[in-house]
Structure 1
Amino acid sequence: MVEKRKKTRSTSSSVDPTTRYAMDVASGKEIAGPDIRNSCKRHLKDLESCHARGLVWDTETAQRAIDFFAKVLKLNGGEHEGKPFNLLPWQCFIVGSVFGWQNSDGYRRFRMVYVESGKGSGKSPLAAGIALYCLVADKEPRAEVYAAATKKDQAMILFRDAVAMVDQSPALAQRINKSGGAGKEWNLAFLQTGSFFRPISSDDGQSGPRPHCALIDEIHEHKNNQVVEMMRAGTKGRRQALIFMITNSGHDKTSVCYDYHEYGRKVAEGSIEDDSFFSFICSLDEGEDPFKDESCWKKANPSLGHTFTDRYLREQVTQARGMPSKESIVRRLNFCQWVDADNPWMSSDVWMGCEEDFSLQELRGEECYGGLDLSGSRDLTALALFFPKKRKLVVEFWTPKDTLTDRAKTDRVPYDAWERDGYIHTTPGKAVKYGFVAERIADLAMQFDIKAIAFDQYRIKYL
């Protein structure tokens, strides 16, 4: 009689931490928003198709990087002072993905990383730890590691986190030489490989950085792509350079940060294929309101319950409800919701929600009241007519024709498309010609009963 062999199932303990997190998110065991769910699905899908695409998943290399945090690094500040840096599952997913995925040549797959999460999730110490790993454990000779920003004081924030980690770790303190006095450090040197880690800013005027690793903090505060491109330009001679960007959500959807936000979303969902780009974007599902439903909070705050409590978020929400001026800030910083401004009079969701298709003929002869705001060469001239009996609002805009294309590029706004689709008027020249505005007002006055038009006094004498 032949004894049947028992079939065994692999338990979660036999799965590497990176893949375990992806599986837990995919199964719903781990709460995550739509963009992180897509990132996890991408990882699991890549595990199946990697060989055909020339990709390699190296669990040992991924685990080595994850272990570096717990075995070498210590946290600093408050109740976490001096404790081992034990990565949370979402942090394991990022670290494991960055260092575990390789191309067929054995070098790192991901060269650009974009991480967006709620404030206080632990992005900065995570980034500092990755930089220290690249400095001492990534086997790169003469590695140049930078904490980069537009201003030196911003770059110093991440760098100080790294310095504090070196001070807390006996293993690193013995191997890394610091330059500068206590509290004034400006360079960390790993002499064994001729490598260094230092802060750098675009206003330094320093030329020729060749980063093996560059940390870029708070991308949403960057006015342009200068810092990112400064770092990227220097990576072309590096075999596995890493640009690691971290940020809170922003409020400007024409910014470089939003560009990376959208690009990262599309890469994660698969509509753009870029094997060199990794994103971890915390976000809420469509229709979720964190002011009404606490169950969605962890989607924007993966460290909830570890680095801070739900009580803190509850306090923020309570204050925002009582102070409307604070609402957009709380939504942006704590719940990863892109808002139009930190103190908007009206949110874009409310504005767009008022949109309605109707014909101007429906309003012919109706009483209305107007508002006029003139502009010069850069801004839009706007006219609004409100019809109180019909509860309708008609808004028209003017902008100079000759600078339309250039301003569409610099302002990162599709003025040319808006003109083509009839959403705005253009006037000849490089400044708005007010005669066209006056003619339009006269035309509208023939159609409607305009009782009054309020106006900003700027340039009104030229109308």
Structure 2
Amino acid sequence: MDQEDATCPVREYAERVLSGDIPAAEPVRLACQRHLDNLRDSELNVSTFEYYYDELAAEHALEFFGYLRHSKGKWARQSFELQLWQQFIIGSIFGWLHKKTQLRRFRTVYEEIPRKNGKSTKVSGIGLYLTVADEEYGAEVYAAATKKDQAKITFDEAARMVKASPDLMQKFRVYKNNLHVIDTGSKFEPLGADSDSQDGLNVHGGLIDEYHAHKTSAMYDVIESGTSAREQPLIYVITTAGINQNGPCYQLREYAMKVLKGTQPDETFFAYIATIDDDDDVFDPATWMKANPNLGVSKALDYMVKQANKAKQMATAYVNFLIKDLNKWTNAAVKWIPLSKWDASAGNIVLEELKGRKCYGGLDLSTKLDITAFALVFPPDHSDGEYIVLVFFWIPEDAVLEKEGKDKVLYTNWVDEDLVYTTPGNAIDYRFIRKTINDLGRMYKIEEIAFDPWRATQTALELADDGFTMVEMSQTLKNLSEATQEFEKLAVSKRLIHGGNPVLRWMVDNTVVRMDENENVAPSKKKSSGRIDGVAATINALARCIVHEDKTSIYEKRGPRSL
């Protein structure tokens, strides 16, 4: 590159971001300002600043990506073309050197970027560069994750890129879990917390993908402790945002923000966090580029529009949109279905028309002092039809007034209107529930009844003796996620007909859903603002309905155990 004729892409990106030509939120603007401030300090030879920017070193790393080939999709076999924002990151990492030692300045990188922005491809390329082009003999580079299978995602992408590049195939030997450079004795391997051994690592490069999913810093600590014998090791953490704001990823993010703001001095730490600003309209396409610098390249605008439209309709989709597409950390607990959407799905239920129809049951047995719920879900006759829900509730007769004061609802009125049934005494008598279910079984064709085995085993055995097919439904996020999402989708699309049952309406309004890092969701009894037993029973029933009515369901493959 003729330095007099060419513009340094790293400087160009920084200047365009700060001028407003390229949309960016505060963290990226801070990273760009830091780069330009550092260039000024280096050029002025400020005595306290020990680094300089070497455009040739940056160019060496950037040009390496020209040897890489995409391995998937419409770009398969084509050369990897770095976008300007990617050149800023890679050029910064490899271009800044120490004035005296000539060694690399940055030893730790924290990059936070939404999905579909070329994350895996870029980090795989960096791993290959550290293995074969960094002039490090015996380099050990690891793609690290909590599980080896997860670590192999980055490693396998790197292996495919090697196989797709004639130039790299001359340098590498490709094995199942190893990329080896004969000339230098260097290697690139996947490493999981469940690997046979993590001892004796001599880490030149550690690539930690999706750090938000790590519950502890154990893997990061293993990588970091293995770098002590290297002169210029690099730990590269790359992730999307997440929900665990008490975990190691968010702690590292907070550290990164302090570095960018200048309140935490650390010249060896580089951070690039693509997100939107707090006051941005999340549904305004003009702001999406801030969080998605590859919008229009690897991430389609149509995809963002589709995700935004889903987010406008469903609370869980909204949270996923914030986290995965706009890179905003959010709380795991989310207020669920707005009452306006729930009420719009009420419809009209004609009980006489349901007689003899096929349905699926869901049982949520409470403690003997609380509400117990039983739900029936009637599937539609065709794929776009309506699901009909009937829910039955029981409460101990002597506890009605006490529960009114505690739950702040008029159980007395609901009992008078036959919306809640009482059982004699101060505790639920499960014999009454069993009798009602048997009565319902004579009216409707109940295919299966799903139940939480924690409290209901004895009642379930008795109902099994009565001839019902009883299916255990452990109340885990993974078990309930598909049915929870289907419940929400059907309700907001006005296809979950519930007849406006006021008890169920109150419980829906109480419901808060929890989610995990794998986007599994389910109602949270602990975090919800009141009773949600009817919602839990309905989700149990819907889960079994999905198994039999939708043959592509994940439940079809997993199948909870029948009694």
User: Deviation digits for residues 90-114 of structure 1, max 9, x if unmatched?
Assistant: 1000100110001121001000001
Distance 2:102 2:221 in 1: 26
Give the match for residue 86 of structure 1.
81
- Alignment of 1:120 onto 2:122: no
CA-to-aligned-CA distance 1:117-157 (integer Å, 9 cap, x gap): 11010111110001111111100010001001110010000
CA contact (8 A) 2:315 2:336 kept: no
Query: After superposition, where does 1:316-355 map in structure 2 within 5 Å?
Result: 316-341=307-332, 344-345=334-335
Q: CA deviation at 1:49?
A: 1.0
- Letter of the 2:243 partner, please give it: H
Give TM-score scaled by structure 2 length. 0.58
Corresponding position of 2:53? 57
Partner of 1:190 in structure 2?
Answer: 181
8 A contact 2:316–2:336 mirrored in 1: no
Q: Which of the numbers 202, 220, 231 marks the counterpart of 1:210?
A: 202
1:222 aligns to 2:222 (yes or no): no
- Identical columns (%): 37
Structure 2 distance, partners of 1:371, 1:103, is 65
2:236 is paired with a residue of what secondary structure? Answer: strand
Asked whether 1:100 is paired with 2:101, we answer no
Say if 2:245 is the partner of 1:253.
yes
SS in 2 for 1:307: coil
Would the aligned equivalents of 2:114 and 2:241 in 1 still touch at CA under 8 Å? yes
Distance 1:129 1:230 in 2: 22
Q: Structure 1 pair 454/261, CA: closer, same or farther in 2 (3 Å)?
A: closer
Match of residue 29, structure 1, among 1, 21, 40: 21
1:348-394 per-position Cα deviation (integer Å, ceiling 9, x unaligned): xxxxxxxxxxxxxxxxxxxx95469xxxxxxxxxxxxxxxxxxxxxx
Q: Matched residues in 1 for 2:21 and 2:71: separation?
A: 30
Displacement of 1:67 in angstroms is 0.8
User: Following the alignment from structure 1 to structure 2, what is the Cα–Cα distance between the partners of residues 297 and 113?
Assistant: 24
Pair 1:15–1:245, CA change in 2 (3 A): same
Amino acid at match of 1:158: T
Instruction: Report SS of the residue matched to 2:335.
Output: coil
Q: Is the 8 A contact 1:12 1:20 kept in 2?
A: no
In structure 2, the CA distance between the partners of 1:371 and 1:35, relative to structure 1 (3 Å rule), is: farther
Q: Which residue among 150, 158, 161 is the counterpart of 2:157?
A: 161
> Taking structure 1 as reference, are residues 201 and 32 closer, same or farther at Cα in structure 2, changes over 3 Å only?
same
Counterpart of 2:259 (choices 249, 254, 267) is: 267
Q: Normalising by structure 1, report the TM-score.
A: 0.70
Amino acid at match of 1:344: V
| Partner of residue 129, structure 1 | 125
* SS in structure 1 of the partner of residue 222 of structure 2: helix
The residue type equivalent to 2:238 in the other structure is I
Q: Could you tell me which amino acid in structure 1 is paired with residue 335 of structure 2?
A: W
- TM-aligned CA deviation for residue 265 of structure 1: 1.3
What are the Cα deviations for residues 397-445 of structure 1, in whole angstroms up to 9, with x where unaligned? xxxxxxxxxxxxxxxxxxxxxxxxxxxxxxxxxxxxxxxxxxxxxxxxx
* Residue 199 (str. 1) matches residue 190 (str. 2): yes
Distance 2:312 2:30 in 1: 32
Question: Does the 8 A contact of 2:53 with 2:96 survive in 1?
Answer: yes
Contact 2:124 2:158 in 1 (8 A): yes
- Are 1:145 and 1:213, in contact at CA under 8 Å, matched by a contact in 2? yes
> Which secondary structure does the structure 2 equivalent of 1:75 belong to?
coil
Shift of 1:214: 0.8
SS in 2 for 1:203: coil
Give the Cα separation in 2 of the matches to 1:308 and 1:277. Answer: 28
SS at match of 2:141: strand
- How far does residue 320 in structure 1 lie from its aligned partner after superposition? 1.9
Moved more, 321-330 or 38-47: 321-330
Query: Cα RMSD (Å) of the superposition?
Result: 2.3
Alpha-carbon distance in structure 1 between the residues aligned to 2:72 and 2:41? 43
Cα shift at 1:286: 2.0
| Post-superposition offset of 1:263 | 1.1
Larger Rg, first or second structure (1 or 2): 2
Query: How far does residue 175 in structure 1 lie from its aligned partner after superposition?
Result: 1.2
Distance 1:282 1:209 in 2: 32
Aligned length: 340
- List runs of 5+ in structure 2 lacking aligned partners: 338-403, 409-528, 534-563
Q: Distance in 1 between matches of 2:4 and 2:217?
A: 42
Seen in structure 2, the aligned counterparts of structure 1 residues 370 and 156 have a Cα distance that, compared at 3 Å, is same
Pairwise CA distance, 1:221: 0.2
CA gap of 1:13–1:331, structure 2 versus 1, over 3 A, is farther
